[in-house]
């Protein structure tokens, strides 16, 4: 169960291992958005010192990984230039390196390169290496951990009538192909994790189906990262504003862990960690 201590900053400690689903013991990835326009906390941590303090607080609450992002990927978000994105994330990553394992949430190789130099050890690429032709080679050369996420379209277009045959089969096939592509480019397979991309180019029913059948994605043989935190599919169930989605986040996160999620990307680390401790005790 997620605890309260920091983990070492060695490259993605345990990053190539799948979790033991029988013990429901996912790692918590705390979100550190250094953006003015993220959907849930945009502008709160745009100052580097505030972002660093927030990251340290998340580690104290039980986060083992900190995911630092300098460009919003909410539906309809505007693109940010590589230099501006790098300027946002580089000092924050440098300030958090050594406090926890740090990932950089970016699809730009130039930003990832600066982030890895500053102390990050994981690249969390929502485009699954489709956004920048240099990303795969960089991750291979630096032996970085790599998270490949499914997204239909891009943040500007992803919620425009997303369509699938069978959403789970389609997402699984996409991720299998992207893992194969990454390995062909030199990325060690044991350093690759996959993310079904809850909320990225999916309707409410698509998201629910993926969460119900999350276990089928374990057939890929790679650890699963799942992020439901504060997302709009929760509001489509109970019409809750973003600041009132903690209950839905916890419910979906616990169920994702039961289905085999290895890492859960969350904003509210303390509350999620407590929920897991209680659920784990009840389930034995």
Residues involved in catalysis: 231, 265
Q: Where are the beta strands (DSSP E) in 126-191?
A: 145-149
Neighbours of 185 (CB within 10 A): 15
CA 159 to chain centre: 19
- Residue 65 has phi, psi (to 5 degrees) of -125, 140
Neighbours of 56 (CB within 10 A): 18
- Residue 147 has phi, psi (to 5 degrees) of -105, 120
Contact 145, 104 (CB under 8 A): no
Q: How far apart are the first and last CA of the chain?
A: 12
Any idea which residue has 């300098």 for tokens? 70
The alpha helices in 97-166, defined as continuous H runs, are 109-118, 135-142
CA dihedral defined by 242, 174, 269, 66, rounded to 10 degrees? Answer: -120
């Amino acid at each position: 169960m997620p605890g309260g201590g920091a983990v070492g900053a060695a490259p993605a400690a345990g990053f190539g291992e799948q979790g033991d689903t029988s013990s429901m013991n996912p790692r918590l990835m705390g979100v550190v958005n250094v953006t003015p326009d993220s959907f849930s906390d945009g502008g709160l941590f745009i100052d580097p010192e505030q972002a660093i303090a927030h990251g340290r607080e998340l580690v104290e609450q039980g986060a083992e990984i900190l995911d630092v992002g300098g460009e919003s990927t909410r539906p309809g978000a505007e693109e940010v230039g590589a230099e501006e994105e790098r300027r946002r994330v580089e000092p924050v990553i440098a300030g958090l390196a050594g406090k926890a394992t740090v990932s950089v949430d970016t699809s730009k190789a130039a930003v990832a390169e600066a982030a890895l130099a500053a102390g990050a050890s994981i690249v969390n690429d929502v485009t699954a290496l489709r956004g920048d032709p240099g990303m795969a080679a960089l991750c291979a050369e630096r032996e970085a951990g790599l998270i490949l996420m499914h997204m239909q379209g891009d943040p500007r277009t992803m919620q425009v009538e997303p369509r699938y045959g069978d959403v789970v089969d389609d997402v699984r096939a996409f991720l299998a192909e992207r893992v194969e592509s990454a390995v062909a480019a030199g990325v060690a397979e044991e350093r690759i994790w996959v993310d079904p991309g809850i909320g990225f180019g999916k309707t409410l029913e698509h998201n629910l189906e993926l969460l119900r059948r999350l276990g089928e994605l374990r057939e890929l043989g790679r650890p699963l990262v799942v992020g439901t935190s504060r997302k709009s599919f929760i509001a489509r169930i109970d019409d809750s504003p973003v600041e009132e989605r903690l209950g839905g986040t916890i419910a979906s996160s616990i169920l994702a862990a039961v289905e085999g999620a290895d890492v859960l990307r969350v904003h509210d680390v303390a509350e999620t960690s407590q929920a897991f401790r209680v659920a784990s005790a009840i389930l034995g």
